[in-house]
Amino acid sequence: MSSPSIREEDVALRTDRTVPARSEEAVAPGAATPAVTVTLVTYECRDDVLRCIGTLGAAAARHDVQVVVVDNDSTDGVAEVVRRQHPDVLVVERRTNAGFGSSHNLAAAHARGRYLLVLNPDTEVAPGAIDAMVDFADAKAAEGTPIGVVAPMLLNPDGTDQMTARSFPTASAGIFGRRSPLTRWFPNNPWSRRFLRADQVDRSRPWTVDWVSGAAMLVPRDLFESLGGFDPEFFMHFEDAELCARVGAMGREVWCVPQARIVHSEGGSRGGWPASQVWYFHRGAYLFARKARYPDAADPRRWLTAVLLGVRLIATILLNMVQRITHVRQPAGSVDPQT
């Protein structure tokens, strides 16, 4: 049995903020409707995505799952290997690297599930995690309060909490964000703990939050489509925050369900932070500020944010250059600007 395979041009793509037109197999009469469509976007991460796909069966023991992989023009043979080892996975190959959000939108065009699980390939999903998220979302819908987004508790490989369910980023997030030097050196300082909501919730029970990481987020497919999916102006970074902002504006809540656990080997799909990634991170932060927080072009806070992010961008790139020259490296490689 050969795996289904689709070229990018087989799907009608649009240039505005909309999910591409749904594919023929997704709307075919009689097509099965699984509980979840897992969407994975790959770029030079063959081993990561194979390991991730291998965890999905136990993660969704009680719910049917469809898996769609969109490959962003990798050269490591990931599309062919996935096609060969997982013949039930739908593989869509792009001719260019179109970025995170745009490619998940393309994957959503092939989705049949009631929910979309946007998932990073550098994750390993714990047994029962998908079942827990779907059960929670279904229970909220039955109560008449359908969710906007449900996320698991994302864990580092050592089992510690990545603290990715948090408040919306502000100008201070660059100082007090979860990966900032101040937070790493003084993790219990009150400003970082406020941004990360460390003291505000009982982390043993589901809680509402502003924003969760796009590394793993469950969204009702009809809501995702009605919102137009991820904003394609973001290449990578902060498109998840911007989507959560639009979800909240529609009156839907963003939840973290700690009973669902996913290990995230953060950065596995990037292999470190070259200057281009540092640029995309800071550009994404500015786009979020411009679109979600300060939409008025005359708002001085928009321009102050741009200046502060520009200074931070230059400082981060220069520091990385110094570290490379002196061979002083952190365990994960270069300085990671992620908040």
CATH, residue 11: 3.90.550.10
Domain-embedded: residue 94:
yes
Nearest-5° Cα angle at 57, 53 to 58: 120
Q: Does residue 189 lie in a domain region?
A: no
Domain identity same for 95 and 244? yes
Closest CA to 129 of 69, 65, 56: 56
**pTM to 2 decimal places:** 0.81
Residue 243 sits in the same domain as residue 281: no
Is the predicted pLDDT of residue 78 greater than 90, yes or no? yes
Question: What residues make up the domain containing 303?
Answer: 275-326
* 82-86 contacts, C-beta under 8 A, 24 or more apart: 82/3, 82/42, 82/49, 82/50, 82/53, 83/2, 83/3, 83/5, 84/3, 85/50, 86/3, 86/53
Is residue 107 situated within a structural domain? yes
> What tens digit of pLDDT does each residue of 158-192 get?
999 888 888 887 665 555 555 555 556 556 666 55
Q: What is the structure's pLDDT at 167? A: 81
Q: Is 339 within a domain?
A: no
Provide the pLDDT for residue 199: 53
The verdict on 104 and 38 lying in the same domain is yes
With H, G, I as helix, E, B as strand and everything else as coil, classify residue 150: strand
Supply 84's token pair: 């060969």
Q: How many domains does the chain have?
A: 2
Domain assignment present for residue 258? The answer is: yes
Say if residue 42 is in the same domain as residue 87.
yes
Establish how many alpha carbons lie within 13 A of residue 214's alpha carbon, considering only the half-sphere containing its beta carbon. 25
138, 280: one domain: no
Residues 100 and 140 in one domain: yes
SS3 173: helix
